[in-house]
Amino acid sequence: MATTFRNPVLPGCYPDPSICRVGEDFYLVTSSFAYYPGIPVFHSRDLVHWHQLTHVLNRPGRLSLEGLDVSDGVWAPTIRHHDGTFYVVSTLARRRRGDLTFVVTADDPAGPWSDPIPLEAEGIDPSLFFDDDGRCWFTACRDAAHPSGDGPGELWMRELDLERLELAGPTHVLWRGAVRGAWVEAPHLYKHDGVYHLIAAEGGTESNHSVTAARSDVVTGPYLTDQRSPLLTHRHRGPDEPIHNVGHADLVDTPDGEVWAVTLGVRPIEGTHTLGREVFLVPVTWSAHGPVFAPESGGVRMSERLPSIASGRPNGDTAVTGRVRFDEPALGLEWNSLRGPVGDRVRPSADGGGLDIDLAPEPLSSTGVPAFIGRRQQHVRFHARTRIGFTAAHPAEEAGVAVFQNQDHYATLALTADGGGRAQAVLTAREAGTSTRLASVPMTASEVVLAVEGDEAGYTFRLTHLGADQWITLATIERAFFSTECAGGFVGVYLGLYATSNGRAGGGRVRVHWFEYQPRVRSET
């Protein structure tokens, strides 16, 4: 009988987790940035196995993501349940145009969710706390420079009028953090034994990330720093530590009285990570001072004891794996597009033979909605393969697979044509906005299987012509190229399919017969 589970419980780019429980059911949401649909909602009964129910933002609407960098967009949602209603608050972060915080509600977390209702709230990382008398307190963090050297951020609070879904009453500044000169973010508030406990993230979401805390006898503060802060961090751990950047936590209790936290963390290899910030599960107990994270080990562990509600169930990996034949009317929930719905440009083929993608003028480097669908890379060692059929009518036309960090940083293995109209497959890397052609091979058939195989060292791009039993290797790009450290921003790698005419008018179409994503075991070559 299993007694432990493996972290992360949600692998791949799912940062800023927030969690709530209703009866025996746990619900979890994460950031989704400029990917569409936004804010995935997961369900679990044991905190270890998670299954995606829906997305909160799955209708195009008032929140336009067009024009945004991939790491802008929907940040740090909080999910709470009160009196039969689910609430999610989150921020549309638009670093060049100002942020927009909003609330959405649902009777059922599987949807439908309401349209987003804007809140007049400054800053990011909103959260909600329902007091014993049913009043709802909205908290968030905002920029604030203090002459004392505190800050540069502060946590603040206003009441949320639940009837009108509007902020009301005075603003209370709650806390400026435990560490002078550090960002205080990701507030969440809990009441335990009559005391209000505020936890936050400090030190930035990279290697100095941490969970800190403060407490007050009155919900509106002032909050006094919990001198044990940081309550959780891996900032002092060396390169042999498998999990880094730990912070941004949210607490939940189980029906049998245990307390757990979900927190983000990364799994770097030689200092860089490609999978993004993932969801880790950590045991918590309450002490007279406040929450104690990982009381036995003092940190987040790859292998942790199972929650008692999960006892006996083997560890599950929440990753979505296997071959997708696109024979359902809708794409699976693991698929995203960029900045909005791709609409009819990506659709199940009428003859049931796969997916058809129309070439769109927008290249992957645009900040519009390219003809792209992608899913998260969830394992360092993986392969992604796809069988596609395409003949380019012009050198500007291309279609294939993308390993995507953001619009300025990605690689593509594409079917296209050379200046003489001869079909070829081309591997291109784009870095800091400049594209470089790394390798090309002539095509001998319009049907191919394209493959990306990743491991600790690099991503190898290969193809095989249909009917041929030989793989052609174009090149290997070192793994660090695809890391967040190299690409910048807050996201991890997506693996996707795309088709573009690079601005040219035309009507080309690609047939995708299937797409397969699999973790690889070490012995596979």
CA dist., res. 307 & res. 3, Å (int): 9
Q: Judged by CB under 6 A, which of 67, 111, 118, 204 binds ligand 6LW?
A: 204
| Alpha-carbon span 326 to 353, nearest angstrom | 8
**Binders of ligand 6LW among 233-292, rule CB under 6 A?**
248
The C-alpha atoms of residue 14 and residue 277 are separated, in whole angstroms, by 6
Which residue in 46, 72, 159, 185 is the catalytic one?
185
Provide CB contacts within 8 A for 4, sequence distance 6+: 303, 304, 305, 306, 315
CB of 266 to ligand 6LW, least distance (A): 12
Nearer to ligand 6LW, 205 or 500 (CB): 205
Cβ-contact 199, 216 below 8 angstroms: no
d(CA 488, CA 405): 9
Q: Cα–Cα distances in Å, from 57 out to 202, 344, 371?
A: 28, 19, 20
Residue nearer to ligand 6LW on the CB measure, 89 or 300: 89
**Options 28, 39, 68, 76; binder of ligand 6LW; rule CB under 6 A:** 76
Pairing of strands 184-192, 278-286: unpaired
Q: Which of residues 158-197 bind ligand 6LW (CB under 6 A)?
A: 185-186
Task: Decide if residue 154 touches ligand 6LW (CB under 6 A).
Answer: no
Nearer of residues 13 and 417 to ligand 6LW, judged by Cβ: 13
Binding mask 380-419 for ligand 6LW (x = CB under 6 A): ----------------------------------------
To ligand 6LW, the closest distance from the beta carbon of 314 in angstroms equals: 31
* Residue number, 243 or 342, with CB nearest to ligand 6LW: 243
CA distance 350 to 336: 22
Give the footprint of ligand 6LW on residues 100-129 (CB under 6 A).
Answer: 124-125
Under the binding rule (CB under 6 A), the answer on residue 205 touching ligand 6LW is: yes
In the beta sheet, which residues pair with residue 21?
A: 26
Near ligand 6LW by CB under 6 A: residue from 86, 190, 326, 490: 490
Catalytic residue among 16, 46, 317, 455: 16
User: Where in 19-58 is the site for ligand 6LW (CB under 6 A)?
Assistant: 31
In the residue annotation, 185 being an active-site residue is answered as yes
Residue 397's identity, in one-letter code, is: E
For 43, 328, 407, 440, 484, the CA distances from 498, given in Å and listed in that order, are 30, 19, 13, 18, 22
**Mapping DSSP to helix (H, G, I), strand (E, B) and coil, where does residue 486 land?**
helix
Which positions lie near ligand 6LW, rule CB under 6 A? Answer: 15-16, 31, 75-76, 124-125, 185-186, 201, 204-205, 248, 490
Which residues participate in catalysis according to the annotation? 16, 185
